[in-house]
Chains A and B, each alone.
Chain A
Amino acid sequence: MRALTLKLLRDVKALRGPAIATGLVVAAGLSVFVMSMGTLGSLRATRDGWYLSQHFADVFVRLERAPLARAARLAEVPGVAAVEPRVVAGGRLEVPGLPDPAVGWLVSLPAAGETALNRVHVRQGRLPQPGVPGEVLVGEAFAQANRLGPGSVLEAVVEGREQALRVVGVGLSPEFIYSIQPGQMLPDDRRFGVLWMARDELARLCGLVGAFNDACLRLAPGASLPQACADVDRILARHGGHGAHGRDQQASHQYLDGEIEQLRGMALVAPLVFLGVAAFLLHVALARLVGTQREQLATLKAFGYRDGEVARHCLGLAVVLVLPGVLLGLAVGAWRGAELTATYARFFRFPEYVHRVGPDVVLLGVGACALAAVVGTLGAVRRVVRMAPAEALQPEAPLRYRHGWMRTLGLAWLAGPVGRMVLRHMARRPVRTLLSGLGIALATALLVMGGFVQDVLDLVMDEAFVRGQCQDLSLALVEAAPGVQASLASLPGVRQAEVVRSVAVRLENGTRSQRVGLQGREPSSELTPLRDEAGRPLVLPRHGLVLSRPLARALGVRAGDRVHVACLEGERREGPWTVAAVSLEHAGLSAYAHREALAAWLGEQGLASGALLAVDRARLAEVEARLREAPRVGAIVVRRAALEAFSATVAENLGRMRTMNVLFASILAVGVVYNAARVSLAERSRDLATLRILGYTRGEISTVLLGELAVLVLLALPLGLVLGRGLSALVVSFFETEAYQFPLVITPPTYAWAAVVTVGASLLAGLVVRRRLDRLDLVAVLKARE
């Protein structure tokens, strides 16, 4: 081995403390990157493969009723490759062992020999047989949550008709990867399920024999989606078409896509922070090494080593310092990524999934680390190259210090000699002090960001479930009906009943359009009060619409603007409405109107399609039982159950994220503080030993070393809190999807927590280095020249 290589290896050994600190920071950043990007790629590949193998449709359309023969016309639309006419219906399910009724979504299966889109993958049992009444295949999520399997029996109320259903199989479909009940925020597999039935059977149940009320289409490659949708809408206009749409508005795909794209935010922000800090740590470690090896490197140059060789030597050192971190980062990233992909695959119920970290991800990640190493090393290498050997062989001139601003301000008496040593040493190398401070601040910022996610969810939950929704039960009717309010209010145990008229509409503003349920409500609902953007109670005006904030954003409208409203039900009324106000909601695309205004527009009177009930706690079960017997009641949602389901899902995900966040942020803080302490110790061991000889105790000289770190941390903390707010704002923008728009709220406990963890990590790093003070060689210091 060449002598220079040997020297390199031994230098690394001497630098193992900083090497570990830098390596861990690199590993943390790279692992987040590899994990997120790997999972992102794997999920996309898994999803696309699953879509392809199951013939996931490109166009979806709901309609009132059309004869099956009409489907042939759809197949003739230019660009359409395949059509599957279907029957779909919502229903109420009584599931054995479940206290509340569940909501079922029934979907027809094509007869043998017909084109099948959104194919169902049978996991257990078999497909329902045509001609056998009541046979269903159940979605796996619902089946597992309720312990259903072939042989289980469910009582259903579909379109007001009771029907016993017998489970013959369990399956999965690309159409319901994310099976979420319309109007809910997260899946609740116990209370919402998809069931497939042979088409003839379901058609008979729904009174749609020889007809269909839903269609899926597959487009040929290169076909225009908007054109196809327009053609389909034209054909189905007479049949009550609700408006065709692409995958982008298909609920499951929309949520899945949002979830996958959120990973990208995670994949970029955190690794950038970590690699930036790693570059700085390398810079500090190597600058120090070059400082201490000045004479050695000069000797090498004096012996005739070329600048390039000496520079390569320094770069080699950087590579060796970074390499273990890179390998660790790749390994941990791949491992955590596989775990995360598996978690997602389970969550989305992909029947099979692949996890692979593509060469592009590895190259990009390793490239970024290499860049960080080179950038970090550049300064030190430049110093080596510029060094004239003769000059470098001389000891370095003592550092020049200056009187600081404290003296200028007449405040010098505030700090004793030790305090002044600390402050002047920091002021002597302002850039390094600044970067060290920035590194610690970034650690604090990451902690703020981690806590902020919890704060936002607390707020959204509070808004949605505590302040926003005061009803105990909400229910949907099979069909809009009159006199609902009176009959519900007369039920014993019901304290308050508010009815809602909900119709499917398409809201348009120029080229932007959204399909939503427009809710006609009492002007000031006590059960689900609305608030305006300033947080004040909002009363629905006699004229105009109120849109939720995400919907207003999606349409690009503000209060006072006009939108075109096209009703997708009944007589298909269309017309302009004014946006009267925007309501303060952070999740969900919702539109509201005064109940009477909507009724007048629809040309109907006193109809309701759903209701919200406040019920005496003690009689909740009784009221539920009564409602279950009412055939016109389609679905019942119990608020307590919805809240529990939401909390359980969120708590699990957050707990895992938070642990990682604290671990990585601590690594960052420890890395930076440890490095700062080591450099300080190296530069000042002579001063510190001198103080020891002069009679200072170990505790007193620790003040010099730890005092500097304390000042650094104190200066970095406020900056970190501010940066944390900035990073959180960035995350908000990354995580924003059409349906969610998170507010930027950070509570004082989150800031306090970030500060406490930073200080704790810094203290730990400081104490590790402090132990080295006890081993200072006092005698050697006397002999060494500066």
Chain B
Amino acid sequence: MFRTRGLTKAYRRGEVETRALNGVDLDLWPGELVVLLGPSGSGKSTLLNILGGLDVPTSGSVHYRDHDLCAASADELTRYRREHVGFVFQFYNLVPSLTARENVALVTDIAEHPMPADEALARVGLAERADHFPAQLSGGEQQRVAIARAIAKRPDVLLCDEPTGALDAHTGVRVLEALAHANRTLGTTTVLITHNAVIGSMADRVVSLSDGRIASERRNATRAEPYSLAW
């Protein structure tokens, strides 16, 4: 589904050039749940941003199905995000002036074949909180609204950047359950960034990044259920 070859991303800050990615070759398959593991600065967020069409590589290639993301214009990248990608952020990025349902509606309004906003909220167990504003929800609830918002458009790929990073373990597990549930029931390819190695055991595949390269890659024989995870 995704295919990257020789992916390199360099940032130039004044005199210094930093290589966030340094020749990454990665393939992602439909329906997979992949955990990208690595410490801060290992390049995992940069990789996610490039896969999500938020950033473009310095060199190398990225293909989503038959789309060449490197050759896409800004408008084409916007359309790509609009039609195919669901995002979940560490700090939720909900619009504070909209209720949970309306935040989801932000996406269903512009998607081609979305599910009803209430259904998306029900899938993450928040049907009852649909009329609450972000300020009236806990952190875990806000993140689950963000997941509902991401899956409501039935995306082909769900990209999650440290979705549990701002949450305690108990709440984090509930968020991971929502993600695993969406992956299983909707068949959405899911990429999950974390520096928490424990989370790796719920994935089909764990890719470890270090210094902008893929350091190791392992496939789990069975996916652990999120509720069994503890950290």
List residues of A whose CB falls within 8 A of some B CB: 397-403, 416-418, 420-421, 424-425, 428, 686-687, 690-698, 700, 778-779, 781-786
Contact = CB atoms under 8 A, between A and B. Distances in A.
B79 A690 contact: no
A401 B97 contact: yes
A781 B90 CA distance: 11
B64 interface: no
B2 interface: no
Contacts of A782: 45, 49, 54, 89-91, 93, 161
Given A401-B97, A778-B54, 9 more contacts: A397-B135, A398-B96, A399-B135, A417-B98, A417-B105, A428-B97, A696-B106, A779-B49, A782-B161
Interface stretch (B80-88, B122-130, B208-216): B80-88
Contacts of A690: 89, 93-95
Contact of A425 (B94, B97, B109): B97
Given A398-B135, A421-B98, A781 B78 contact: no
Contacts of A691: 95, 106
B224 to A, nearest CB: 28
Which of B49, B54, B95, B102 has the largest number of chain A CB atoms within 10 A?
B95
Contacts of B91: 782, 784-786
18 contacts: A398-B134, A400-B133, A417-B103, A417-B105, A417-B106, A420-B97, A420-B98, A421-B98, A424-B98, A690-B93, A694-B87, A694-B106, A695-B78, A695-B82, A695-B85, A696-B82, A700-B110, A784-B91
B66 interface: no
Nearest to B79: A695
A626 B2 CA distance: 104
Contacts of B98: 401, 417, 420-421, 424
B193 to A, nearest CB: 11
Interface of B: 45, 49, 52, 54-55, 75, 78-79, 81-83, 85, 87, 89-91, 93-99, 102-103, 105-107, 109-110, 131, 133-135, 149, 161, 166
Contacts of A425: 97
Nearest to A426: B97
Contact of B93 (A400, A421, A781): A781
Contact of A696 (B90, B110, B149): B110
A128 to B, nearest CB: 84
A246 to B, nearest CB: 68
Which of A424, A428, A784, A785 has the largest number of chain B CB atoms within 10 A?
A424
A103 B229 CA distance: 108
In the A-B complex, the 9 residue pairs with the closest CB atoms: A695-B82, A424-B97, A695-B81, A690-B93, A398-B135, A417-B102, A401-B97, A400-B135, A687-B95
Given A417-B98, A420-B98, A782-B90, A401 B133 contact: yes
Nearest to B77: A695
B105 A416 contact: yes
Contact of B54 (A693, A785, A786): A693
A691 B93 CA distance: 9
A421 B89 contact: no
A330 B98 CA distance: 47
A691 B94 CA distance: 10
Contacts of A421: 95, 97-98
Contact of A695 (B83, B99, B134): B83
A555 B94 CA distance: 71
A81 B106 CA distance: 88
Contacts of B135: 397-401
B135 to A, nearest CB: 5
Contacts of B87: 693-694
A70 to B, nearest CB: 89
Contacts of A697: 75, 78
B107 A694 contact: yes
A424 B102 CA distance: 12
A698 B77 CA distance: 12
A706 to B, nearest CB: 16
Given A416-B109, A695-B110, A401 B79 contact: no
A428 B98 CA distance: 12
Nearest to A781: B93
Contacts of A400: 133, 135
Contact of B102 (A398, A420, A696, A781): A420
Nearest to B86: A694
Contacts of B149: 694
B78 A417 contact: no
A507 to B, nearest CB: 68
Nearest to A691: B106
Given A416-B109, A778-B54, A693 B81 contact: yes
Nearest to B89: A782
A411 to B, nearest CB: 15
A693 to B, nearest CB: 6
Contacts of B79: 695
A696 B54 CA distance: 13
Nearest to B117: A417
A629 B134 CA distance: 95
A781 B93 CA distance: 8
Contacts of A416: 105, 109
Contacts of B96: 398-399, 401, 687
A784 B89 CA distance: 10
A408 to B, nearest CB: 13
Nearest to B95: A687
A723 B120 CA distance: 50
Contacts of A783: 45, 90
Contacts of B97: 399, 401, 420-421, 424-425, 428, 687
A267 B49 CA distance: 59
Which of A693, A695, A786 has the largest number of chain B CB atoms within 10 A?
A695
A686 B78 contact: no
A424 B133 CA distance: 11
A782 B75 CA distance: 20
Contacts of B85: 695
B148 to A, nearest CB: 13
Contact of A417 (B52, B75, B109, B166): B109
Contacts of B107: 694-695
A693 B161 CA distance: 13
B1 to A, nearest CB: 18
Contacts of B110: 694-696, 700
Which of B83, B89, B166 has the largest number of chain A CB atoms within 10 A?
B89
A163 B89 CA distance: 101
Which of A692, A693, A700, A783 has the largest number of chain B CB atoms within 10 A?
A693
A424 B131 CA distance: 14
A694 B109 contact: no
Contacts of B131: 403
Contacts of A403: 99, 131
Contacts of A397: 135
A695 to B, nearest CB: 3
B30 to A, nearest CB: 21
B198 to A, nearest CB: 23
Nearest to A693: B87
A602 B87 CA distance: 100
A397 B137 CA distance: 12
Which of B87, B91, B103, B135 has the largest number of chain A CB atoms within 10 A?
B91
A786 B89 CA distance: 12
Contacts of B103: 417
A713 to B, nearest CB: 20
Nearest to B153: A695
Nearest to B85: A695
A169 B90 CA distance: 92
Contacts of A693: 52, 54, 81, 87, 93
Contacts of B83: 695
A396 B91 CA distance: 14
A774 B54 CA distance: 14
A687 B102 CA distance: 13
A608 B98 CA distance: 84
Nearest to A397: B135
A521 to B, nearest CB: 71
